[in-house]
Amino acid sequence: MSALKGNQAVPLFLPHFNLQKYNTLAVPALARHFVSVKNDNELREALVFARAENLSLLLLGGGSNIVLRDDFPGLVIHIKSHGREVVAENDEFVWLKVAAGENWHQLVEYSLDNALYGLENLSLIPGSVGAAPIQNIGAYGVELKDLIEELSALNIRSGLSVTFTNESCQFGYRDSIFKQALKDQYVITSVTLRLRKHPQLNLVYPALRAAFTDVPDTDITPQQVSAAVIGIRRAKLPDPAIIPNVGSFFKNPVIDQARFEALKALNPAIVSYPAAANQVKLAAGWLIDQAGWRGKEVGGAAVHSQQALVLTNPFKLPGLVVLELAASIKQSVYEQFGITLEMEPRIYP
Ligand code: EPU
């Protein structure tokens, strides 16, 4: 959305804008101002407007990892930039630079159609390319940090563009520097991925491996891995276009080994994965399920019946309803297991 000023397009600032179609939880909250930006110049104009009007910012990609607790009293900047470009290649790899506004799953499909591999396990993750590094999206044994070479980001205060190498993003499990030391300081404008010309499949995730029991590894293609991941996701995770949700509502908690041994003595069936040295990652979905929440509905918000880690908002109610359910779940998991769950999506305002 833009208007002409002289010969230059300027982005259009829309007041009192309903964000319901712009967040996958379908919460009907209003933004005081809303603007869609297609490139760095429009983004800079939006930042100047926010500064002049003293508005807080919400950077919006696919809206698949936010919960709107209430109306947003500032400026929502919807990143709508497009483009994919091969910036380098050698015998093994292609470096693909992708604009932040591109849809993640469409990028995965594009890569497979162009014989570029590595993204197959990350098929069907909702959201935009620019949002993906913030929480280091991951699924079925692969995380974005395994594939990202560098990214470009605009400094919100100065408007200057900066390159972050993979290492400087300080990626962790559902974590990066953009959620920590540099929170709210940069807008990611493009991501450069290092993709393979020859497939190197990752089938370590048990449910994914199980999809290929009778097939020799050498016969499996990345396209088949993508199809298997899509099948697993569709079986467990609700399609946000049909049942509003933001994927996992909590992170899988990481605890130390000694604490885990004590928990396991009391709960022999507890689901866990090895994490960093001396640490264990627990399946939050299992904890929530064991606490009796799977399939429950409270005040109109619900716990998905196929995966207790996913909360849904079938009646498109205010975000507070979902947050109240989340708080009750958190409390009961703490009472039963002594584990404090941490919310995965970001809450605004
Ligand atoms: N489980 C239950 N009951 C449930 C849900 C899960 O017992 O209601 C058990 C499962 O049987 C399994 C274990 O918990 O043994 C883990 O479940 P699952 O394989 O479904 O994965 P997850 O740990 O719940 C994580 C990610 C997902 C990602 C999958 C696959 C987080 C917070 N979530 O879920 O990511 O797709 O692994 O890699 O790390 C997302 O971030 O939005 C997301 C969907």
Give residue 1's pLDDT.
Answer: 54
What pLDDT band is residue 4 in, cutting at 50, 70 and 90? low
For 149-161, how does the pLDDT look when each residue is reduced to its tens digit (9 = 90+)? 999 999 999 999 9
Give residue 274's pLDDT.
Answer: 87
Question: Yes or no: is domain 2-79 CATH 3.30.70.580?
Answer: no
Active site residue 102: no
Mean pLDDT of 315-343: 98
For 133-179, how does the pLDDT look when each residue is reduced to its tens digit (9 = 90+)? 999 999 999 999 999 999 999 999 999 999 999 999 999 999 999 99
Start-end of H helices in the chain = 40-53, 104-113, 206-210, 222-236, 257-266, 284-290, 319-337
The CATH T-level fold of domain 245-348 is 3.90.78
Mean pLDDT of 286-294: 98
For 191-240, how does the pLDDT look when each residue is reduced to its tens digit (9 = 90+)? 999 999 999 999 999 999 999 998 899 999 999 999 999 999 999 999 99
Q: Number of H helices and number of E strands within the chain?
A: 7, 22
Q: Are strands 142-143 and 138-139 parallel, antiparallel or unpaired?
A: antiparallel
What pLDDT band is residue 11 in, cutting at 50, 70 and 90? confident
The span from the CA of 77 to the CA of 38, in Å, is 10
What pLDDT band is residue 70 in, cutting at 50, 70 and 90? very high
Atom 43 (ligand 1) nearest CA: 248
What is the location of CATH 3.30.465.10 in the chain?
A: 84-236
Calculate how far, in angstroms, residue 222's C-alpha sits from the geometric centre of ligand 1. Answer: 22
- Among the four given CATH numbers 3.30.465.10, 3.40.50.261, 3.90.1170.40, 3.50.30.60, the one describing domain 84-236: 3.30.465.10
pLDDT surpassing 60 at residue 341: yes
Mean pLDDT of 16-28: 98
What is the location of CATH 3.90.78.10 in the chain?
A: 245-348
Mean pLDDT of 49-58: 97
Contact (Cβ atoms closer than 8 angstroms) between residue 175 and residue 140: no
- Which among 42, 176, 248, 294 is annotated as catalytic? 248
Report the DSSP beta bridge partners of residue 301: 298
Give residue 10's pLDDT.
Answer: 72
Which one of 136, 248, 303 would you pick to mutate in the ligand 1 pocket, going by the greatest count of ligand atoms within 8 A of its CB? 248
What is the location of CATH 3.30.43.10 in the chain?
A: 2-79
- Which among 174, 194, 233, 294 is annotated as catalytic? 174
